[in-house]
Structure 1
Amino acid sequence: MSFFSVFLGFSLLVSLSAAEPEPLPRSATPFLSPTTVQNYQKMVQNFRIFIYKPIKTLNFPTPAESLFYNSLQNSPFMTQNAEEADLFFVPLSPDFSPRSLARFIGSLRKEHPYWDRTLGADHFYLSCPGIRVVSDRNIVELKKNSVQVSCFPTRNIDEFVPHKDLTLPPLSNPPEAPHAPPNKTTAFLGYVRHGGVNSSNLVNGLVNDPEFLIESEPSDMSTYAERLAGSKFCLFEYGNGDASWIGHALRFGCVPVVIADAPVNDLPFMDVLRWQEMAVFVRSRGVEELKHVLRMTWRERYEHMRGLGVVASKHFVWNESPWPFDSFNTVMYQLWLRRHTIRYRRVE
């Protein structure tokens, strides 16, 4: 079966028809759960979010944050009836001081009954830099219990709590499809966008290697997609350099290689996508070890990983008018998965 056929089949599955779709074989989908498509349809029909009134106009510092917030406000998930809400959005201004933040959470606690039902566990907020815990009770509950939506990659990893928090995928302009992509069997083993003077020793060791194409920025945007499509692997230095093009790599069949010396817990959609089968994770130990891992992957499981990545790439597309399973709606699906919270009985 061609990858185009797999992608076409997946597109048919996400149509919101009344009929129950036939699930694709697990090997052909990038999802961790075989019930993702069915659960997504339930989410579209039933998920409701109440947005508290912000105390001032929100001006987010990143385009991804602004687009997510605008999409949320105009989405069918919005409800004006807080009693039917599954989750509550806390509109935090990026320039809140700790005192202002504590005062705002305190006002929600005082003016509404919903915070104390779960101590904030059915609430979520948007913050790329994250919230630093201080001794104030309101901020402690916000950070410990509420879902934080950050931006990938998180710059302050200590402010990110895996399995509770989640990240927005990067917002970047998708390149046009290549007219005639090179044959991967004869093109580059790897493509790297390095971090300049801050590049790791591993990436610096690849600069003169003829099997790798390395540049700090795309040298020619008109052929950028061809370079991705012609490369077997796309290398990302986690926390050191530009990660905004990871969706581009997936789209053009360039298997992501994440270079990190510690576990990576903030990849977008980690509780939805099978990242371990779509990407290679390596430590920055040396060029020869890296090339050995990539060649073994190329021989044994490359086509499977590439196929999953191409299908998964649709989740990294931001649309001004969201459509099924794009970036906004997949973030919403992650929030839907977190809607079940312990409701503490209020003490009268």
Structure 2
Amino acid sequence: MSPNSNDIFDETHANASPSPTMIEEKVASDIDKLEIGLQKVRAAIKEAKYTTNRTYQDPDFQPVGPIYWNANAFHRSYIEMEKRFKVFVYEEGESPLFHNGPCKSIYSTEGNFIHQMEVNDQFRTKNPNKAHVFFLPFSVTMMVHYLYQPELRSFDFIKHTVIDYIDVISSKYPFWNRSLAADHFMLSCHDWGPIASFSVPYLKENSIRVLCNANTSEEFQPRKDVSLPEINLQPGPTSTFIGGSSPSNRSILAFFA
């Protein structure tokens, strides 16, 4: 061997593509790191649950009222979420069906959430291995607007768009198949949000569906799905709060008709 053979060997291996085993070990290591972090969170929440004296202050938090099972545990959970929670937003897909949504009208919550996820650096991570959940940034409202053809009364265009998108991200990344969509979530304020999720079985049965149309009659599943308030933002500038009593003088948690 020449004196530089080891250098050649090291350089060759440094430029080689990682083996499937190496990739699996890396993923396992990343999952372990996430789980260790979550274990610390669970311990902190459990400790707060049995603590009468709070060691942290938050002027916006009032730990009173029957809404809380345990106010300290709820607050600790929220604090840990703000510190640690990370979302990976898939970059695949083009506007107007993806990464876009209505920010005014009765569907405004959908568009504003999608927009905030696009620009928010606090919760969004560009590294999918550091993400706790994965966001599917499609807008059912925009799909209905651009793809639905009333004269045909066919949902097929929307259905196939959702199927094709899941095919793309599940082929390009390992995360959908790794959890069978359990750590993925979609969001929709359109009435057809639940129907859109029926396009892919794992999307309906396993993923977290954040829906304004949170009706159990349309197979909303409280064990995993999340209800989202619907806000009808009117066109034009909004310079102040819409109105109503201060939170301390409200007796109803939420209502929409």
Q: How far is 1:254 from its partner?
A: 4.6
- Distance in 2, matches of 1:37 and 1:117, equals 31
Q: For 1:171, which of 218, 226, 231 is the aligned residue?
A: 231
| Structure 1 residue runs without a partner (length 5+) | 1-18, 177-247, 259-266, 269-348
Q: For 1:74, which of 112, 119, 127 is the aligned residue?
A: 119
- Tell me the matched-pair count: 168
- Distance in 2, matches of 1:250 and 1:167, equals 23
Letter in 2 for 1:168: L
Letter in 2 for 1:167: S
Distance 1:28 1:116, change over 3 A: same
- Distance in 1, matches of 2:111 and 2:139, equals 12
Q: Which moved more, 1:66-75 or 1:142-151?
A: 66-75
- SS of 1:97's equivalent? helix
1:90 and 2:136 matched: yes
- Distance in 2, matches of 1:25 and 1:93, equals 35
Counterpart for residue 148 of structure 1: 209
Equivalent residues in 2 for 1:62-211 (5 A)? 62-75=107-120, 76-94=122-140, 95=143, 97-128=158-189, 129=191, 130-132=193-195, 139-151=200-212, 154=214, 157-171=217-231, 174-176=241-243
- Distance in 2, matches of 1:65 and 1:99, equals 21
The 8 Å contact of residues 110 and 139 in structure 2, kept in 1 or not, is answered as no
As a proportion of its length, which structure holds more strand?
A: 1
Q: How far is 1:150 from its partner?
A: 1.2
Q: For 1:251, which of 244, 247, 251 is the aligned residue?
A: 247
Normalised to the residue count of structure 1, the TM-score between the two structures is: 0.42
Q: How far is 1:253 from its partner?
A: 2.8
Q: How far is 1:119 from its partner?
A: 0.1
Q: Could you say what the CA RMSD is over the residues aligned between the two structures, in angstroms?
A: 3.4
The 8 Å contact of residues 125 and 149 in structure 1, kept in 2 or not, is answered as yes
The 8 Å contact of residues 48 and 87 in structure 1, kept in 2 or not, is answered as yes
Equivalent residues in 2 for 1:1-348 (5 A)? 20-21=55-56, 27-28=64-65, 30-34=67-71, 35-57=73-95, 58=98, 59-61=100-102, 62-75=107-120, 76-94=122-140, 95=143, 97-128=158-189, 129=191, 130-132=193-195, 139-151=200-212, 154=214, 157-171=217-231, 174-176=241-243, 248=244, 251=247, 253-256=249-252
The 8 Å contact of residues 249 and 256 in structure 1, kept in 2 or not, is answered as no
- Distance in 1, matches of 2:176 and 2:226, equals 20
Deviation by residue 1:269-294 (Cα, 9 ceiling, x = unmatched): xxxxxxxxxxxxxxxxxxxxxxxxxx
- Distance in 2, matches of 1:40 and 1:72, equals 18
Q: How far is 1:163 from its partner?
A: 2.4
Deviation by residue 1:160-195 (Cα, 9 ceiling, x = unmatched): 22221112223257444xxxxxxxxxxxxxxxxxxx
Q: How far is 1:20 from its partner?
A: 3.1
- Distance in 2, matches of 1:119 and 1:142, equals 9
| Structure 2 residue runs without a partner (length 5+) | 1-53, 144-156, 234-240
- Distance in 2, matches of 1:32 and 1:54, equals 40
- SS of 2:76's equivalent? helix
- Distance in 2, matches of 1:81 and 1:251, equals 38
Greater C-alpha radius of gyration: 2
As a proportion of its length, which structure holds more helix?
A: 2
The 8 Å contact of residues 50 and 85 in structure 1, kept in 2 or not, is answered as yes
- Distance in 2, matches of 1:168 and 1:56, equals 25
Deviation by residue 1:56-100 (Cα, 9 ceiling, x = unmatched): 113424111111112222221111111111100011232161112
- Distance in 2, matches of 1:77 and 1:30, equals 26
- SS of 1:126's equivalent? strand
The 8 Å contact of residues 209 and 226 in structure 2, kept in 1 or not, is answered as yes
- Higher relative contact order (Cα pairs below 8 Å, separated by 6+ residues): 1
Normalised to the residue count of structure 2, the TM-score between the two structures is: 0.55
The 8 Å contact of residues 125 and 131 in structure 2, kept in 1 or not, is answered as yes
The 8 Å contact of residues 181 and 203 in structure 2, kept in 1 or not, is answered as yes
